[in-house]
Amino acid sequence: MHTEAMIERLFETLISGDRAATRNVVHQAEESLGSAESVITDLFWPTHQQIDKLFRSDQLAPLNHHLATRLLRVMVDQTSSRLKISPPRNRTIFSVCGPSESEELGAQMAVDLLEAAGFHIFFAGGGVAPDEILSRVQEDKPDVLLMFSSAAQDLPGIREMIDRIREIGACPNLQVAVGGGVFNRADGLAEEIGADIWATSPLEMVDCLLGEPERRAAVNQRTVGRNRKKRVAA
């Protein structure tokens, strides 16, 4: 089954809230795509983006949005437990996101893939005050502060927090990474607020944070796996 058809089928089962049908679609997708990572990146993420876009444009009723978002999060939880885990990279990421269920879902996909890639993850979710985030960053000194799937109302706090991090200089080696959410809807915003790294999808964020040599190795590994699956299917 083509990926576009799988996305459409998953979208329909999610917005109807049909749990059994959704599990069936996901099971078939994992057999077709060949890995849990591919299900998250090639099926769950674009479906999530479609649901979010339609809801924001008032083309999806709140009830259907709630059904879809909560059911998709269950599927992400179950699929993430089957991700292949890479050896530890001795890099720590502290991550937050926007306050809504949908934004937490998008961020969860990113942190699940990053954890599978070998990063040590602390994920606080949404609704955390900038002062609390800044205090945690200064105390624990993570390698990366990741704000994925942030909301528009978070921007003033994010901007101020980045400025304070730079002014204080308490974490000179900290990388600030952003992506998804409002950063996907406003070109140039990530650079404007002073982020070091930005990406439009969870998988792109993984590749960016891996760095060039590790990124090439990870991409090659994924390509080999997918080509092997295609040869078997043929």
What CATH number did the domain enclosing 32 receive?
Answer: 1.10.1240.10
Q: Judge whether 219 lies within some domain.
A: no
Q: What is the pLDDT of residues 19-48, one digit of tens each?
A: 999 999 999 999 999 999 999 999 999 999
Exposure string for 97-131, b = 16+ CB within 10 A, e = fewer: bbbbebbbbbbbbbbbbbbbbbbebebeebeeebe
Confidence (pTM) = 0.88
Instruction: Match 């089957």 to its residue by tokens.
Output: 82
Residue 2 has pLDDT above 90, yes or no: no
Q: Give the pLDDT confidence score for residue 59 in this predicted structure.
A: 98
Residue 78 has pLDDT above 80, yes or no: yes
Residue 32 shares a structural domain with residue 145? no
* 220 — pLDDT class (breaks 50, 70, 90): low
Q: Judge whether 225 lies within some domain.
A: no
Q: What is the pLDDT of residues 172-218, one digit of tens each?
A: 899 999 999 999 999 999 999 999 999 999 999 999 999 854 554 55
Higher pLDDT, 167 or 227: 167
Residue 57 has pLDDT above 80, yes or no: yes
- Looking up residue 183, the CATH number of its domain turns out to be 3.40.50.280
Domain boundary, last residue among 28, 53, 80? 80
* 158 — pLDDT class (breaks 50, 70, 90): very high
Residue 231 has pLDDT above 80, yes or no: no
Q: What is the pLDDT of residues 114-151, one digit of tens each?
A: 999 999 999 999 999 999 999 999 999 999 999 999 99
Q: What is the pLDDT of residues 88-97, one digit of tens each?
A: 999 999 999 9
Q: Give the pLDDT confidence score for residue 214 in this predicted structure.
A: 54
Which residues form the domain of 27? Answer: 3-80
Number of folded domains that form the chain? 2
